[in-house]
Chain A
Amino acid sequence: MADKRAKLRKLTGRDKAVLTAMAGIPALLTTALIWVPALGSIVLSFSKWNGIGGFDQIQWIGGKNYYNITHGYPPFGPAWHHNLIWFAVFVLVPVPLGLYLATQLDKRIAASRIYQNIFFLPVVLSLALVGFMVELIYAPEQGLINNLTGHTKPGNLVDWIGNPHLNLFAVLTLAVWRQTGYVMILWLAGLKAVDPALREAAALDGANEWQTFRRVVLPALRPVTIVVTVITVVETLRAFDIVYVVNRGKNGLELLSTLITDNIVGEAIRVGFGSALASILLVVSVLVIVPYLIVTFRKED
């Protein structure tokens, strides 16, 4: 300890200035742009305010917003439910599928760059475009699927977008299509970084392909696994754009994020009510992500 302190003292004034700037500016920005607004939301969640006029217009109403959300806001339950389904699907499909595609692409097969681009392309598409594709594919009379399968008549029509039991999965199909490309690139980057010597050693020891993958490659991918897990959780909690483009997150497509915008963005708004919803989402995010990161990085040390 004494040594360290001695070293610190040896820093010149200029070093100190540089260090302060390098650590201080990001800290300041994070505080100003993330933590102050987040805490502001929590404070506002105890208020009633239509967002117009100064702070003097705000009325403080205690926990009433939270009571109204849980007792008299019908979309709240379904939104939770849909976020959980979203998470389950994102864990079960894009994560393994992305890994599978990445391992195939990693084998230096012919034209792997082309496949890579094909799978990654959806990630680059703007969501307005993806929303438009939802229409092209699922619209009842004009859509691709119903026309291919002959379900465009009133009697046998399949209502992909309007049926609250179907539309979440219709939209999730496209969301998964995007997410898989994203996850695949992460896995692929990880695979490229795996030392080829490890595989050679495994081969020399007589391990087959599956054993090499299971016992050697996968453990080496650990840091990427953490990133993929975090990304999956984050993408689930912030899932928003596709459903919003389709029907603003209503009628079977409610998500926590769309409920927030529903109340905070609009002609006449409920800042307090929306902030209470946002605070709930914030708490959930922190509860999920922070323990995971703590546990993971503690093991790393």
Chain B
Amino acid sequence: MTSAQNSPYAQGVSRRSLFRGAVGLAGVSALGIPALSACSSSSSKSSGSTGGNAGAATGTVTIGSNGSDQVPKKAFADLFAAADTATGLKTTVNTVDHNTFQQNISTYLQGTPDDIFTWFAGYRMQFFAQQGLLHDVNDVWDKIGGNFSDAIKAQSKGLDGKYYFVPDYYYPWGLFYSKSAWAAKGYTAPTTWDDFITLCKKMKSDGLSPVALGEQDGWPAMGTFDYINMRTNGYQFHIELMQGKQAWTDPKVKATFDHWTELLGYTSPGANGRKWQDAVAMVMNGQAGMCVHGLDQAGPQFQAAGKSDDLDFFAFPSIDPANGQDAVEAPIDGWMMSKKPKNHDGAVKLLEWLGTTEAQNTYLASSPNDVAAANNPDTSKYNALQKKSIQFVSSAKQISQFMDRDANPTFVSTVMIPALQKFIGDPSSIGSALSDIESQKKTIYAS
């Protein structure tokens, strides 16, 4: 855990690591050739570097995907078409609506799940590993370990120290804005809270909604909470609060909400009745100045409107100088293996390929709103925002996932979503709400 807290996911791309990447790619394409020589008996424990245990694996591998939105859907289709060619397997993708997939995950995993499926790093992965619903992927990591930084490795392990997760990509959260709209008004990105509020005031007097927020689905405002809390109280306190080890009645939490109350004065009214897509649209159309979101949300929408070049972002401003802008929220998405995959060897082989730079860049070619989790991405094809994201995350001192990935999911969905919506609708209600949150937290986390 400490390495996850102290070191960024991706280091800058050195010449040496680029070279290693090239070698890795060559190795992968060699694997792609159906190697008759590699008919070692299948799943014996890790047999070294090339060819390998899964080399002989064939047949169909099924994949459960939550990539139901247009851009990820196409990216997954391209990815698995390439996977078929590269691995000689036949992949079948079952796509389920993004939110439904998450809602049904525990039923899905206890039923007849696909061999591998999309999921998220953090507590959200560790929980299911702990419940015994996942197959560990240590043998995959024997192969792909060299592709990832220590921080990423730490985020891929369960509480028992085994690997359960193969990271695919990550994306940063920040304050997103339209470059052309800002250039027209001469706005510049603030780095401190005071400058931030000054900018909001200026935007308001220019007739803009300074900060757009669409909280109808319940989760988007969590990003704002996470950032204000990390800036006010520091990363360590934030993570402990998420893990149930700090009290919500602590005056420090109240301080976070006090800062947020100030910001709500400059937030588009009616947030609880707005979809996040509409909030991003407000930024894109110049009705609003900025929004706290992930590149994964703001990016596709600007892309769909043909305005990718107009999108930019900056780090959430610092509040307490002691914490500066050290922490960055950058959720990692990736793959997990279900408890009893029908084609274990095939699934291992596929995951080994999915953990390569080649596979991750194939995905990112059609979804340029994320950054490959592997260490040596070929950044020549990256757009400006992707390059900025690598830099952004590399310079972070600590990295958080997201409230609904770092905290207990029951607590987040039954307590925090209603509480945040209530706070946004009526900021003065937070005083009494915090003790309600704390008492519910105690019953939910005590198990």
Interface: A206 (CB within 8 A): no
Number of interface residues, chain B, beta carbon within 8 A: 45
A247 and B217 in contact, given A51-B106, A72-B443 (Cβ under 8 angstroms): yes
Sorting the interface of chain A by its residue count into under 10, 10 to 19, 20 to 34 or 35 or more gives 35 or more
How many Å from the CB of B350 to the closest CB on chain A?
Answer: 24
Contact indicator A73/B440 (Cβ below 8 Å): yes
What 1/0 flags go to A242-280 for Cβ under 8 Å of B?
Answer: 000011101100100000001101111110000000000
How many Å from the CB of B47 to the closest CB on chain A?
Answer: 34
Contacts of B278 in A (CB 8 A): 139-142
Contact indicator A251/B443 (Cβ below 8 Å): no
Q: How far is the CA of A247 from the CA of B272 in the complex (A)?
A: 9
Residue of chain A at shortest CB distance from B274: A140
Contact indicator A265/B103 (Cβ below 8 Å): yes
A159-B273, A267-B103 are known contacts; what are 15 more A-B pairs with Cβ within 8 Å? Answer: A51-B106, A53-B132, A72-B443, A162-B272, A164-B425, A167-B273, A247-B216, A247-B217, A247-B272, A254-B418, A265-B103, A265-B104, A267-B127, A268-B106, A268-B408
Interface: B439 (CB within 8 A): yes
Q: How far is the CA of A139 from the CA of B214 in the complex (A)?
A: 11
A residues lining the B interface (CB < 8 Å):
48, 50-53, 68, 72-75, 135, 138-142, 154, 157-164, 167, 246-248, 250-251, 254, 262-263, 265-270
Q: How far is the CA of A53 from the CA of B272 in the complex (A)?
A: 37
Q: CB within 8 Å of A: which of B406-447?
A: 408-410, 413-414, 417-418, 421-422, 425, 433, 436, 439-440, 443-444, 447
B residues lining the A interface (CB < 8 Å):
102-106, 110, 124, 127, 131-133, 209, 215-218, 268-275, 278, 281-282, 287, 408-410, 413-414, 417-418, 421-422, 425, 433, 436, 439-440, 443-444, 447
Contact indicator A262/B414 (Cβ below 8 Å): yes
Q: How far is the CA of A138 from the CA of B436 in the complex (A)?
A: 31
How many Å from the CB of B331 to the closest CB on chain A?
Answer: 15
Q: How far is the CA of A251 from the CA of B287 in the complex (A)?
A: 26
A161 and B272 in contact, given A52-B110, A266-B409 (Cβ under 8 angstroms): yes
5 A-B pairs whose Cβ atoms sit less than 8 Å apart in the complex = A75-B418, A162-B425, A163-B270, A250-B418, A268-B127
Contact indicator A72/B436 (Cβ below 8 Å): yes
Q: How far is the CA of A73 from the CA of B409 in the complex (A)?
A: 17
Interface residue from B104, B131, B436, B440 paired with A52 (Cβ < 8 Å): B131
A159 and B443 in contact, given A248-B218, A266-B410 (Cβ under 8 angstroms): no
How many Å from the CB of B112 to the closest CB on chain A?
Answer: 16
